[in-house]
Chain A
Amino acid sequence: MSLKIVVLAKQVPDTRNVGPDAMTPEGTVNRAALPAIFNPEDMNALEQALLLKDADPDANVQIVTMGPPRATEIIREGLYRGTDGGVLLTDRAFAGADTLATSYALATAIRKMGLPDIVIGGRQAIDGDTAQVGPQVAQKLGYNQVTYVTSIDKVEDGKITVTRHIDGGVERVEAPLPILLTVNGDAAPCRPQNAKLVMKYKRATTPIERPADGSLPYAEEYERKPYLTITQWSVADVDGDVAQCGLSGSPTKVKAVQNIAFKAKESKVLTASDDDVNELIQELLNEKIIG
């Protein structure tokens, strides 16, 4: 049997290119000012999944993402690189989720899809930086988990061998399937989009993205080509418990948000005189900064 793989991916604001209007005066992320991108470490995870599919073209790779309608772009980005499909979890009831509610929604959707051999995601998202969602999904599915993975080395006889990053080096781990892996940013970068796949899937959309007035360009194409319709699921579609989703399922409460501007605490002005330079060197030696 060929492998079934589910990739967990998130659309995030591009916090690596922060401009002056990146934050609102209230101290929350100004999503409008930041382009939405595929979370970088989820891209590394996607590449690991696609490498397994390169080795066995019959392997099935699906992306699951939770977000607003425009997060369908995450599924398309996967299709452009060789995934077999994906699911967008989108519902107002999913909104405002912390990591617990997110992992509940993802685990519920994965069960609905049929349990895979491998669930794989990035170590953490660049907007929240919690690194909690992957491990929580593993817990909820009852899967083994290996975090900080930098490469998948072998999948054979129901077992997987991976290399994972640890302080000061790497370790090789063997574990039984099914398994959840979280992947580090120093794993192989994701491949580029593929020209033929982009040409094939460029008009693929979730129904919720399409104009409400029914004015759909190339409408007949959607009838001819079922793969141009991307699956979208609500809480009801995954038989989810609304109380465990979104804001209501999130025990995390934000007490306060503070704007912190980094400032140098103290500074000292030195002249080019030998005395000043000697004093500085002595101080650095005393502090064991040099020596």
Chain B
Amino acid sequence: MANYYTDHPEIGFHLSHPEMRKVVDLREKNYEDKDKFDYAPVDFEDAIENYRRVLEITGDVAANVIEPNSESVDLEGPHLENGRMVYASKTFENIEATKKAGLWGVSMPRRYGGLNLPNAVFSMLSEVISAADAGFQNIWSLQSCIDTLYEFGSEEQRQEFIPRVCRGEGMSMDLTEPDAGSDLQRVVLKATRDEENDCWRLNGVKRFITNGDSDIHLVLARSEEGTTDGRGLSMFIYDKRDGGVDVRHIEHKLGIHGSPTCELTYKNAKAQLCGSTRLGLIKYVMALMNGARLGIAAQSVGLSQEAYNEALSYANDRQQFGQKIVGFPAVYDMLSRMKAKLDAGRSLLYQTARYVDIYKCLEDIQRDRALTPEEKQQMKKYQRLADAFTPVAKGMNSEYANQNAYDAVSVHGGSGFIMEYKSQRLMRDARIFSIYEGTTQLQVVAAVRYITNGTYLNIIKEMLQREVAEELRPLHRRVETMAALYEQSVQYVKEAHDQEVQDFLARRLYDMTAEIIMSLLILDDATRAKAEQNEACAEQFVKSANVYVRMAEEDVIGKASYVKQFIAEDLPAFKQV
């Protein structure tokens, strides 16, 4: 039987990454749950076995329930009925199957009914579900909003809401409004205190809310009258059981049809404050968005895999000029780039997820006891790495998913343009990845400070010190040259002392950063797969390293040249009115 997890040994390869031991030991807090819960792991190996099993279950549900439903969901989509959103009929089947499989609230501690999965494993589940149906992945992965409620909500709120999510109730994050998209500081939805009923009341409109008719909403609203910036915003929990929020409209979209995008009207809706007032945007939504960005990176990797699978299978099947088209250089050039982007992007995703895990676990331990100075230092280090890597993982993987879906259509030739083939849907679905949860352009903005302050450069230098397999050394030397060019380019931009020049060139520096890091990651993976005699992965990763490093080099050299010859006086030639 098909299984999206076991069919792709490249995913499980990241489960055995050496850094996972640190992640799991921290996450399981010395396996303290083993005597309290019959499903808790007793040691590290047991935990990894649990992850493997939950991934197999997810791979089964993805391949045998969600994927077979995906075309029907794409064609039907959700609809509006008396102010309520109704999912496409097969979406209900998907939800039911994931509930029965126990795939809700998976990141939450066991004491609330969760599986206590680390982010790295959650991201694997995410990519597996996304490969089957990216739109359904939205509905499912929005459960990760509960992480923010767990982190910042009160114990009463945790006990009230977390078990419900573990039982399969859906979530949404109600942030954007007609005049507040990328610029969330302009949110105006009004929150007022209702002293008589000891609650808050929400009034206003939210727009472009994914899964907007969910059971439990996290809402960004203006609690401080008279304020106009982010410091007047707070975060609230709205429970659909209390009523007061209606769906006014469901958007007709290019892709991810199964994922309902709603316009909501809040009419005196009862709500609870989550955390403290005024920290809604500057603290909580930033946490929420970072989680969501990693979710989109995983969604992107899943779709990239599916696009590659579709293209490869078609290229092996389709014959022209008396041979399978997979044998033509122009076609295998495309396919090999798709696979290289997929393997490198996936590695970046899980590297980022592990960084997030380590700092979040330490942060969680800090809720129970004071950290040692050494632990504190670790937490800071990994938080910085997570903050630096998240915008790269999201931006690059979302762009790669689009490129891979586009190439999948190209490999299909005329058939790719026909609606009966899946590749067109993948292309439509992927388009939003590089837009929502912060456009790629905004990921660049989030990353640029780590470019100029040398965070990435330090990591690149550290990674360059790692041993690589003998046969990969020539490639490794090419990456060293790329890193030197990168250092010069960053230096050049810094020395220009011109903010507009820096902003203009930032995307190029961002791409160079990402491509060098991913080159090193794929070299690392190929080296480890060979050392572990993981033949299925070793052969693939050595190929992908060969393809990816060349592709990166082609781009890095071009961009270094572009940057080097750019001066502020060139800017007017680009400006449009």
Is B53 among interface residues, defined by CB-CB distance under 8 A?
yes
- Of B40, B57, B106, B115, the residue contacting A192 (CB under 8 A) is B57
Chain B hits for A191, CB < 8 A: 97, 100-101
7 other A-B residue contacts (CB within 8 Å) besides A193-B101, A194-B101, A195-B54: A193-B57, A195-B103, A196-B102, A197-B102, A199-B41, A199-B53, A202-B53
Which residues 381-421 in B have Cβ within 8 Å of A in the complex? none
Chain A hits for B103, CB < 8 A: 195
30 contacts between A and B (CB under 8 A): A191-B100, A192-B57, A192-B60, A192-B65, A192-B100, A192-B101, A193-B60, A194-B57, A194-B101, A195-B53, A195-B54, A195-B101, A195-B103, A195-B106, A196-B39, A196-B102, A196-B115, A197-B39, A197-B102, A198-B54, A198-B57, A199-B39, A199-B50, A199-B53, A199-B115, A200-B38, A202-B49, A202-B53, A218-B42, A227-B38
Chain B hits for A227, CB < 8 A: 38
CB-based contact B61/A192 at 8 Å: yes
How many A residues touch B, CB cutoff 8 Å? 15
Is A112 among interface residues, defined by CB-CB distance under 8 A?
no
Residues of B within 8 A of A (CB): 38-42, 46, 49-50, 53-54, 57, 60-61, 65, 97, 100-103, 106, 115
Which residues 196-242 in A have Cβ within 8 Å of B in the complex? 196-200, 202, 218, 221, 225, 227
Number of A-B contacts (CB under 8 A): 51
CB-based contact A225/B38 at 8 Å: yes
Which residues 176-196 in A have Cβ within 8 Å of B in the complex? 191-196
Residue of B nearest to A221 (CB): B42
Residue of B nearest to A193 (CB): B57
Residue of A nearest to B103 (CB): A195
CB-based contact A198/B53 at 8 Å: yes
Chain A hits for B57, CB < 8 A: 192-195, 198
A194 to B168, CA, bound (A): 13
Cβ distance A151 to chain B, nearest Cβ, rounded Å: 16
A225 to B46, CA, bound (A): 15
Chain B hits for A202, CB < 8 A: 49-50, 53
A7 to B38, CA, bound (A): 25
Chain B hits for A193, CB < 8 A: 57, 60, 101
A49 to B57, CA, bound (A): 21
A46 to B271, CA, bound (A): 43
| Given A192-B61, A195-B57, also A200-B42 (CB < 8 A) | no
CB-based contact B102/A195 at 8 Å: yes
Please name the 7 residue pairs, one residue from A and one from B, whose CB atoms are nearest each other, closest first: A199-B39, A195-B102, A191-B100, A192-B101, A200-B39, A194-B102, A196-B39
Residue of A nearest to B100 (CB): A191
A194 to B39, CA, bound (A): 11
Chain A hits for B53, CB < 8 A: 195, 198-199, 202
Cβ distance A275 to chain B, nearest Cβ, rounded Å: 34
Chain B hits for A197, CB < 8 A: 39, 102
Cβ distance B122 to chain A, nearest Cβ, rounded Å: 12
Cβ distance B115 to chain A, nearest Cβ, rounded Å: 6
- Of B40, B49, B50, B100, the residue contacting A194 (CB under 8 A) is B100
Residue of B nearest to A198 (CB): B53
A227 to B38, CA, bound (A): 10
A194 to B54, CA, bound (A): 8
Residue of B nearest to A225 (CB): B38
Cβ distance A177 to chain B, nearest Cβ, rounded Å: 27
A200 to B100, CA, bound (A): 16
CB-based contact B60/A195 at 8 Å: no
Residue of B nearest to A202 (CB): B53
CB-based contact B38/A192 at 8 Å: no
Q: Which of B39, B42, B61, B103 has the most CB of A within 10 A?
A: B39
Residue of A nearest to B53 (CB): A198
A122 to B503, CA, bound (A): 67
Chain A hits for B41, CB < 8 A: 199
A198 to B61, CA, bound (A): 15
A191 to B103, CA, bound (A): 13
Cβ distance B94 to chain A, nearest Cβ, rounded Å: 11
Chain B hits for A196, CB < 8 A: 39, 102, 115
A192 to B129, CA, bound (A): 15
Q: Which of A196, A202, A225 has the most CB of B within 10 A?
A: A196
Cβ distance B39 to chain A, nearest Cβ, rounded Å: 4
Cβ distance A191 to chain B, nearest Cβ, rounded Å: 4
Cβ distance A200 to chain B, nearest Cβ, rounded Å: 4
Cβ distance A288 to chain B, nearest Cβ, rounded Å: 35
Residue of A nearest to B96 (CB): A191
Cβ distance A35 to chain B, nearest Cβ, rounded Å: 9
Residue of A nearest to B57 (CB): A193
Chain A hits for B60, CB < 8 A: 192-193
Q: Which of A192, A193, A195, A198 has the most CB of B within 10 A?
A: A195
Residue of A nearest to B38 (CB): A200
Cβ distance B6 to chain A, nearest Cβ, rounded Å: 13
Residue of A nearest to B35 (CB): A224
A193 to B61, CA, bound (A): 9
Chain B hits for A194, CB < 8 A: 57, 100-102
A200 to B41, CA, bound (A): 9
A63 to B58, CA, bound (A): 25
A197 to B38, CA, bound (A): 9
Chain A hits for B46, CB < 8 A: 218
A200 to B42, CA, bound (A): 11
Cβ distance A53 to chain B, nearest Cβ, rounded Å: 12
Residue of A nearest to B115 (CB): A195
Cβ distance A15 to chain B, nearest Cβ, rounded Å: 14
Cβ distance B398 to chain A, nearest Cβ, rounded Å: 28
Cβ distance A83 to chain B, nearest Cβ, rounded Å: 14
Cβ distance B119 to chain A, nearest Cβ, rounded Å: 17
Cβ distance A233 to chain B, nearest Cβ, rounded Å: 25
A191 to B102, CA, bound (A): 11
Residue of B nearest to A190 (CB): B100
Cβ distance B150 to chain A, nearest Cβ, rounded Å: 19
Cβ distance A188 to chain B, nearest Cβ, rounded Å: 11
Q: Which of B41, B57, B61 has the most CB of A within 10 A?
A: B57
Cβ distance B47 to chain A, nearest Cβ, rounded Å: 10
A227 to B54, CA, bound (A): 20
Chain B hits for A198, CB < 8 A: 50, 53-54, 57
Cβ distance B60 to chain A, nearest Cβ, rounded Å: 6
A193 to B100, CA, bound (A): 8
Cβ distance A76 to chain B, nearest Cβ, rounded Å: 12
A199 to B38, CA, bound (A): 8
Cβ distance B571 to chain A, nearest Cβ, rounded Å: 55
Cβ distance B307 to chain A, nearest Cβ, rounded Å: 26
A227 to B100, CA, bound (A): 22
A192 to B65, CA, bound (A): 10
Cβ distance A194 to chain B, nearest Cβ, rounded Å: 4
Cβ distance B106 to chain A, nearest Cβ, rounded Å: 7
Residue of A nearest to B98 (CB): A192
Chain A hits for B49, CB < 8 A: 202
Residue of A nearest to B49 (CB): A202
Chain B hits for A225, CB < 8 A: 38
Residue of B nearest to A192 (CB): B101
Chain A hits for B100, CB < 8 A: 191-192, 194
A197 to B40, CA, bound (A): 11
Residue of B nearest to A82 (CB): B100
A199 to B53, CA, bound (A): 8
